[in-house]
Amino acid sequence: MCDVLYSPWRLKYILSKKDEECIFCVRPSVQNDEKHLILFRSEHSFVIMNLFPYNNGHLMAVPFRHVSRLADLNKAEIDDLFETVQLCEKVMHRTYSPDGLNIGLNLGRAAGAGIEAHLHVHIVPRWNGDVNFMTAIGATRVIPESFERAFEQLKEQFEKASAQLEEQIDKAGVEK
């Protein structure tokens, strides 16, 4: 017997009309970060809130370059992307104090990628008991925080964490 991952709240995304253009290419190029839920930009990647989250605070770290596989990123891009994921982990703990995190990639449609043409890393906060009767029986996902409030809190923590990182680099005399 196998377990079933039941996520009916995702049906809205699955059935929605998809843009012809890649959202991970278009949204950061528009330079309207708050409207497009972009929280942080580094040299080679950015962090965006998931518009169809599994939990409040569900983030994605995305390379700017349009690639579908890790093997297509160069060393500088890989380093930057996973430093950004590491920053997301710090910000997530400072903002939400989750009991755990799911951090991962879905490479290809068969692996569950909703946007398979542009690589992205999911960072999902998890709490003990976050899959409760509403999800399991009621087929309804409860996200207890508005996107606006989540954006405001997360943005503040990204600004603080990146400032601290810059300060550490300056003190060490290392160029990033």
Residue 28 has pLDDT above 70, yes or no: yes
Q: Is residue 139 part of a domain?
A: yes
Q: Is residue 5 part of a domain?
A: no
Q: Is residue 1 part of a domain?
A: no
148 CB-near residues (< 8 Å, 6+ apart): none
The CATH number of whichever domain residue 117 belongs to comes to 3.30.428.10
Q: Is residue 13 part of a domain?
A: no
Q: Say if residues 112 and 84 touch (Cβ distance below 8 Å).
A: no
Residue 77 has pLDDT above 70, yes or no: yes
Domain count for the chain: 1
Query: What 3-state DSSP class applies to 71?
Result: helix
Would you call 44 a catalytic residue per the annotation?
Answer: no
pTM: 0.76
The number of beta carbons lying within 10 Å of the beta carbon of residue 64 is 19
pLDDT band at 118 (very low <50, low <70, confident <90, very high): very high
Catalytic residue among 44, 58, 120, 122: 120
Secondary element (H or E) of residue 81: helix 75-96
Q: Is residue 10 part of a domain?
A: no
Q: Is residue 12 part of a domain?
A: no
Show the domain range for 110.
19-171
